[in-house]
Structure 1
């Protein structure tokens, strides 16, 4: 994250905290704990050295201020929350950052025709995760990406074929939602998951059923090809295929729930990291995410 992104996240996070009851409870609990610890230390010091010539009022004020400061520091918005499970032996992380900086296998969201053309941002946006994938992993080589996708999808059933008259741009062969093309570069794998449908008007549509179905297919693919190694993914369903009635927090919770539920049936990966883009950090309450992880 850049300094500007961090400062923006912090300012937005602080504003959000003011209206967050959980933040106020956390502030009160941490401040009270710090005050209790500080009081105990001060009482011990006075018991050991009763002749200390210091204003009791000044000490009390200093203790109150320092306790409040400690409470604020512990309750400020975080950029990362995590939880480790014993059964199964997995770790889940939700963090703000750059997906492509993660040293792990990556999940890239695609539509059901696995479109890749970013010309004029008509079919695929250069700023999307797909666009960044093409740029940062394939150096903009669309032909190579299309070739790799075709090889990986060769064993998948074709659901239907569009005509150029009905779909004016992009690819025409549709695969079932939940299909996953697995691409590799060195020791790193990229799981290209079809979680939505590219409509003929070039808008992507998806829903909670499609997302849950695609997550099931994703975990099966990761289990087969990921060697149980760490995997990272964005909040799929939150960009061009924004799912009705589901904000980013709900989507994160759904991804986490699906991963944990499926991991209890069969170990998928030792670690899942959901990476939130810095521009979306203010849309996900990390205090709520931390609370959700604790009861998951």
Structure 2
């Protein structure tokens, strides 16, 4: 995931659609106001040309203001004290600890893209935190998973590539030094066809196990995570907006029991950011913060 924003056309199309929608709504409001004000001017409006031009300009300005991009949404919560940030950018340069999604076999070797997509967050973790050395990453995973019993073991004939041990969904392997932990969380199943899939219940359960691990290891710190679940089989019916709200609701619901961490930062890659309405995210978080403070 790159911190650059190449190809801004998807963002521009969404902004343009919002501009047209809000401008049309403003014109509709002006039209209704004009009908209501008509009886006040039985001889017609004074300088109707100027009035029409001014109303049109105000509608366009309203549409532009309402459609302007919101690069970062930041919401403070009380009881417990915490902050939620949603932004576009580079996950690996975000401050604090990291969350990286894995499948239930904790495979690491790309196998020419058949096991792990070269552009995925997991592939970037291997390149940027482990210098492209899967043996080093595997060694840390083995240490972190030593106390966890595999749920089952595949036969090599059934799974020709990658690892054979399967761990329960929701398993979290905590990697790296205490100052910069990586929470490797298994939230998807890798099928024998090498296609990773997950469902809403699986993701919700895995997120709850993730918050438990964060609570134990990083309660006073900041944690950054990507939009987990995007692009997975069986999750295609949820768009990025819905996935983001699912993650935020899970975190906030778990935080009702006590602070999970000081800050959660959801970092969106450009393709996901283009399909997320940041003003709606801001309104959603404000409503959640108000509800939490009223407990």
Q: What range is the shorter-chain TM-score in? A: 0.7 to 0.9
- Which of 87, 110, 113 is the equivalent residue of 1:118? 110
Conserved? CA contact 2:4–2:89, under 8 Å: no
Q: Which residue of 2 aligns with 1:167?
A: 159
Is 1:106 matched up with 2:108? no
- Which of 2, 5, 25 is the equivalent residue of 2:4? 2
Q: Which residue of 1 aligns with 2:16?
A: 15
Is 1:152 matched up with 2:152? no
Question: What's the CA shift for 1:256?
Answer: 0.3
Conserved? CA contact 1:13–1:77, under 8 Å: no
Which portions of structure 1, spanning 4 or more consecutive aligned residues, are displaced by more than 2 angstroms? Answer: 1-5, 7-10, 61-75, 239-242
Conserved? CA contact 1:114–1:194, under 8 Å: yes
Is 1:251 matched up with 2:243? yes
Q: Which residue of 2 aligns with 1:53?
A: none
Q: Indicate how the Cα distance of structure 1 residues 132 and 218 shifts in structure 2: closer, same or farther if over 3 A, else same.
A: same
Q: Which residue of 2 aligns with 1:235?
A: 227
Question: What's the CA shift for 1:109?
Answer: 0.4
Conserved? CA contact 2:19–2:67, under 8 Å: no
Is 1:137 matched up with 2:138? no
Rounded to whole Å, the distance in 2 between the matches of 1:166 and 1:19 is: 53
Aligned-partner SS, 2:146: helix
Is 1:266 matched up with 2:258? yes
Conserved? CA contact 1:207–1:244, under 8 Å: no
Conserved? CA contact 2:82–2:263, under 8 Å: yes
Query: CA RMSD of the aligned region, Å?
Result: 2.8
Rounded to whole Å, the distance in 2 between the matches of 1:80 and 1:96 is: 7
Rounded to whole Å, the distance in 2 between the matches of 1:275 and 1:135 is: 19
Is 1:199 matched up with 2:195? no
Rounded to whole Å, the distance in 1 between the matches of 2:193 and 2:75 is: 42
Question: What's the CA shift for 1:63?
Answer: 11
